[in-house]
Structure 1
Amino acid sequence: MTIRFLRSRRPLALAAALTIASAGLVACGGSEPGSSQSAGPLTVRALLAAQPATLDPIVGARSAQIVWATMLEPLINTDKALAMTDTGLVTSWTRTDPTTWTLKVRDGVSFSNGEKADAAAVANTLLLTRDAAASQLKSYFTNVSAVDAPDAGTVVVKTKTPQYNIPDLLTTVYLVPPKYYKEKGSEGFAAEPIGTGPYVWAGAHAGRDISVKKNPNYWGTPAANDGITFTWANEAAQRLALIQSKSVDVSFDLPPAQSNEAKKAGITVVSTETAMKIIAFLDSTKAPFDDPKLREAAALAIDRDAIVKGIFDGQAVADSGLLNILPGQQPAQSVKADPAKAKELVGASAPAVQITYPAAQYTNIEEVSQAVGGALEKAGFKVTYVPIDYGTLVKRVVGRQVPGIAIFAGVPNVATPDYFASGFMKTKSITGNCPDPQTDELIGKALEQDSAQAAAPMYEQLNTTGVVDKHCYVPLYRQVFNYATNGVKGVAFGPLNTVDFTKTTR
């Protein structure tokens, strides 16, 4: 599931930002500020907002797939409408009985180290996804009872009870080579990933950059460029300065102020409403939000429309639902801000609440967290803030060590409502912040349906229960993602926060 990677904090002075960030780029083989590469072989210089926490897709949040997905591939591809296609490593999927899915694996594909990307590799990756202690997708595969590879081209997945979305889940499971992964372990694999993708590992400078180069033996359509060098700059001012100076070819995650500046400077800026939404998770298992009345007060105190207008100047989309996955969808029922009622519910008790957020992630997340805290203080809460790095936040959330409110993004890397239902609402889920046996039962019943469409009424009920009735989740807004390009074209940013660089040229 994801929890996501974009970041902005209060800008540094523009000149200082340019000097600091450019020094890192030059040390890693980048261009001097103000220079641009001439026509000829192209290595795309891509600037991220934060360094990826890990390049291991088994244990890593999907934020880092912008890097690892250049080298590794998901089992099933999707098209622009997010429908599954037969163009990937798994070419067909058939529900042979209510609890059995039969997959066909593309013939003749190998990992860049020579290992076969066959059915045995697919089965091994699925079992790692289900069984690895730190697997990010573990909660989605707990219903899988067996994975077998009866021959080199066939995988059979058995589930304990019917589960309609097994193929959908495979669109975010990235294939890893069995022998290499076992030999290296998670950390060793992350240090030098091996996959079947259009690019292969080309090296890294710790804390500075990561490079990939074109895979000369790629089974599919080869990349139109020679490779990509990823660097990162935490401050939005740095990212703007570096794209203005032509020190990078594409700069991701420009907040509204910086994207407007880039446009004024004649730089191409692409804005895309994504499926990523920022959510405030209230922990119902610990004080103060083990009190339903105080959860309701918090939900009523927070005005998502004011956050979108005041912080993002309209360059975000207020969203009051949890399980409405795709852009444009809204829930049947929602909670609207009511500060007066929130204050009445809190009364004179002045409950203490901690707000934890990832200081190295997400556009304007510090301002958003402060806005949420300010609204709670007006309602009578006593607020403290805990800004931590993203990797630490993930560990603490999974370890149930974040009392009060955790603010982070959910990215439905799989375009079905169950991705959030199983990821956030189950008792045994990523967050586990609102355990309820009845919720678990309804999620199970939804999965037993023939399709997401058949399960839709159950997901509406689940959304109403979690957001409107129990107030365990306060959805805030969908991210509008801005990125700037200078001198290149063909960078394809998808609605599920994926990036395709293979068609990028000058």
Structure 2
Amino acid sequence: MMIMKSSHSRRTLALATALAVASIGVTACGGPDPADSGPSSSAPIRALLAAQPATLDPIVGARSAQIVWATMLEPLINTDADLAPTDTGLLTNWTRTDATTWTFTVRPDISFSNGEKADAAAVANTITLTRDTAASPLKSYFGNVTSIEAPDAGTVVVQTKTPQYNIPDLLTTVYLVPPKYYQEKGSEGFAAAPVGTGPYVWAGANAGRDISVKRNPDYWGAAPANEGITFTWANEAAQRLALIQSKSVDISFDLPPAQATAARSAGVEVVSTETAMKIIAFLDSTKAPFDDPKLREAAALAIDRDAIVKGIFDGHAVADAGLLNVRPGQQPAQQVTANPARAKELVGGGGPTVQITYPAAQYTNIEEVAQAVGGSLEQAGFTVKYESLDYGTLVKRIIGRQVPGISIFAGVPNVAVPDYFVSGFMKTQSLTGNCPDPRLDALAQEALQQDDAERAAPIYDQLNTIGVVEKHCYVPLYRQVFNYATAPGVSGVVFGPLNTVDFTKTTR
């Protein structure tokens, strides 16, 4: 979601459920709590999110949900500052023993916070759940995996049907869950009180209001510098600005450009980071009206990404015309440039109705973006209607192939290799399934069979050209510049380019 992600141990961006500890200054509707008397030195770090979390189950949760669960759960493999896999996490070594076999070494003597062993059997179980659970957003990435075995407590062997160079990369976004507890509780039960191996443990939540974690006294790694974190949310950007200005929270995430500018003017420290998250318009080529290639081309030519960046974000976003250029700074080999006049010619008179579906309050200024896309389509001759859904509902409908027309949501490459978007969006059996084409399936498989990402790069350029430039199934719009503000004295928040957050060094 990609949808929705990480340097620095991959502690990430956000979703959750509910039960809780002390009042922290934000009510369920996002207002300040009159009873709040300010933080004490031992109180949790107070983190304010833009939206209420949907699930804390990493098996079925979109990867925009990690800010909360990644405090308690850990990925199988960590990444470094360059987003490359490292040996510092739960898996400490991996070798490609033959073209279709990967062997992984599990860090010894690690336990979950409930006492279960975090051994090879747990790793194998988590990968299996990721591959086989119907609602898993990572399911398509592991469709080539035929066998996952734990021959002993310290070894996991993964076999694939055909060669696949990126298995270690994929495991950087698979979070380890305890087998017995997960089976006993099920997805909803696990999400209500997650158990992991991470630096924090569940401390409770108040339904619809807040979620808290506290320091894990038995964590195998370096202990957090703080006692814990309490997450709250406020959908309105003005509320997030007001709460950080009033010092009711310690960190306020996802400030739109106007609020970020206002915060800076008021002397609040704001950090801005160009991220790998890009907002994309997905056109469903399997249903009317975009089963007509001419109308897909018209829509792609009508949408002016540069105007969106300038008019809505005042330049505080980065126009991006590519789908598979996953790292900030990369550019696509070919791209589509807006041409409203040609778009109008292609539509002709009496254009069809197009539904634009987008997730309410999930991304900065997303409603304005949807309206801008719709306005461009109307100028080309389309009739436009809008449907705003909560993020969780939108994801379920996309997976169920129930979103005709255009859906607008973020692509978050939690794994910094192009196949993350290819397998997630482009293959016939992908998450979106909006552009079935045997050529894309064949090229996707060919790319994975290369020895490494460098050798696969020309194939990914070809995939991008077919999907974006020739078939117009995807209209990439822009990369998000993410702004967050910290209260006076708060330091040590580590925000990664894959929209990940590490709170372990945060102090005030």
- Structure 1 length as normaliser, TM-score? 0.95
User: Which whole-Å CA distance do the structure 1 matches of 2:48 and 2:459 have between them?
Assistant: 41
Q: Please give the secondary structure, in 2, of the residue aligned with 1:375.
A: helix
What does 1:53-202 align with in structure 2 at a 5 Å threshold? 53-202=54-203
Conserved 8 A contact 1:4-1:362 = no
| Residue type at the aligned position of 1:257 | A
CA contact (8 A) 2:215 2:228 kept: yes
Return the offset for 1:25. 8.7
Report if the CA contact (8 A) 1:25-1:231 is conserved. Answer: no
Deviations along 1:41-82, one digit per CA (max 9) or x if unpaired, are: 241000000111100000000111000000000000001111
Q: Does 1:498 align with 2:503?
A: no
Corresponding position of 1:241: 242
Shift in CA distance, 22/125, structure 1 to aligned 2, threshold 3 Å: closer
Counterpart Cα distance in 2 of 1:200 and 1:207: 20
Deviations 1:263-317 (A, max 9, x none): 0110000000000000000000000000000000000000000000000000000
Given that residues 251 and 484 in structure 1 are in contact (C-alpha distance below 8 angstroms), is that contact kept between their aligned partners in structure 2?
A: yes
Q: CA deviation at 1:4?
A: 3.6
Q: Using the alignment, how far apart are the partners of 1:282 and 1:123 within structure 2?
A: 36
Question: Displacement, 1:378?
Answer: 0.1
Change over 3 Å in CA distance of 1:344–1:53 after alignment to 2: same
In 1, Cα distance between equivalents of 2:29 and 2:212: 12
1:443-482 correspondence runs (5 A): 443-482=444-483
2: CA distance, partners of 1:199 / 1:318: 37
- Using the alignment, how far apart are the partners of 1:263 and 1:45 within structure 2? 20
1:438, distance to aligned residue in structure 2 (A): 1.3
8 Å CA contact 1:93–1:101 kept in 2: the answer is yes
Alignment of 1:327-366 (within 5 A): 327-366=328-367
* 3-state SS of 2:92 partner: strand
Contact kept? 1:35, 1:246, Cα under 8 Å: no
2:443 is aligned to: 442
Counterpart amino acid of residue 221 in structure 2: G
Q: Secondary structure at the match of 2:402?
A: coil
Between the aligned partners of 2:442 and 2:364, the Cα distance in structure 1 is: 36
The Cα shift of 1:24 comes to 3.7
The C-alpha deviation readout for 1:158-207, integer Å capped at 9, x for no partner, is 00000000000000000000000000000000000000000000000000
1:22 Cα deviation from its structure 2 partner:
3.7
- Tell me the TM-score normalised to structure 2 length: 0.95
Distance change >3 Å, CA 98–CA 4, structure 1 → 2: closer
Task: Go from structure 1 to structure 2 and tell me whether the alpha carbon gap of 1:22 and 1:356 turns closer, same or farther (over 3 Å shift).
Answer: same
Give the counterpart letter for 1:193 in structure 2.
Answer: P
Q: What is the alpha-carbon distance in structure 2 between the residues aligned to residue 139 and residue 443 of structure 1?
A: 12
C-alpha contact 2:401 2:432 (8 A) present in aligned 1: yes
How far apart in 1 are the matches of 2:414 and 2:26? 33
Separation of aligned partners in 2, 1:245 and 1:206: 24
Contact residue 360 and residue 388 of structure 1 kept, 8 A? no
Instruction: Supply the AA of the counterpart residue of 1:495.
Output: P
Offset, 1:3: 1.2
C-alpha separation in 1, matches of 2:37 and 2:179? 43
State the AA in 2 paired with 1:311. Answer: I
Offset at residue 36 of structure 1 (A): 3.1
Provide the rounded CA distance (Å) in 1 between the counterparts of 2:230 and 2:370: 32
> Match for residue 486 of structure 1?
487
Tell me if the contact between 1:26 and 1:32 (Cα under 8 Å) persists in the aligned partners: no
List alignment gaps of at least 5 residues for structure 2: 6-12, 15-24
- RMSD of aligned Cα (Å): 1.5
Structure 1: distance between partners of 2:132 and 2:323 = 27
Q: Which residue of 1 aligns with 2:218?
A: 217
Instruction: Provide the rounded CA distance (Å) in 2 between the counterparts of 1:47 and 1:232.
Output: 5
Partners of 1:360 and 1:53 in 2: CA distance: 13
2:448, 2:4 → 1: CA distance?
Answer: 26
Task: Give, in whole Å, the separation in 1 of the partners of 2:148 and 2:284.
Answer: 35
Aligned AA (2:64): S
The amino acid across from 2:3 in the alignment is I
Which residue of the partner structure matches residue 51 of structure 1?
52
| Aligned twin of 1:3 | 3
Point out the more displaced range, 346-355 or 89-98: 346-355
The residue that corresponds to 1:392 in the other structure is 393
Q: Determine helix, strand or coil for the equivalent of 2:74.
A: coil
1:304 aligned partner: 305
Tell me the distance in 2 between the aligned counterparts of 1:359 and 1:31: 25
Question: For structure 1, which segment, 170-179 or 40-49, has the greater mean C-alpha deviation from structure 2 after superposition?
Answer: 40-49
Separation in 2, partners of 1:281, 1:413: 19
Structure 2 counterpart SS, 1:273 = strand
| Secondary structure, counterpart of 2:85 in structure 1 | coil
State the AA in 2 paired with 1:198: P
Superposition pairs for residues 260-299 of structure 1, below 5 Å?
260-299=261-300
**1:403-426: CA deviation from partner (whole Å, max 9, x where unpaired):** 000000000000000000010000
Question: Structure 1: which amino acid aligns with 2:479?
Answer: R
AA aligned to 1:472 is C
Q: Secondary structure at the match of 1:70?
A: helix
1:35 CA displacement: 4.7
CA distance in structure 2 between the aligned counterparts of 1:33 and 1:342, rounded to whole angstroms: 57
Question: How many residues get paired?
Answer: 490
- Retained in 1: the 8 A contact 2:4–2:413? no
How far apart are 1:83 and its partner, in Å? 1.3
State the partner residue of 2:20: none
Letter in 1 for 2:435: C
Q: Aligned to 1:439, what secondary structure does the other structure show?
A: helix
- Structure 1 residue 148: Cα displacement: 0.3
Q: Deviations over 1:456-491 (max 9, x none)?
A: 000000000000000000000000000000031001
Deviation at 1:37, TM superposition (A): 2.1
Counterpart-to-counterpart distance in 2, 1:89 and 1:82: 17
Structure 1 spans left out of the alignment, 5+ residues: 8-20
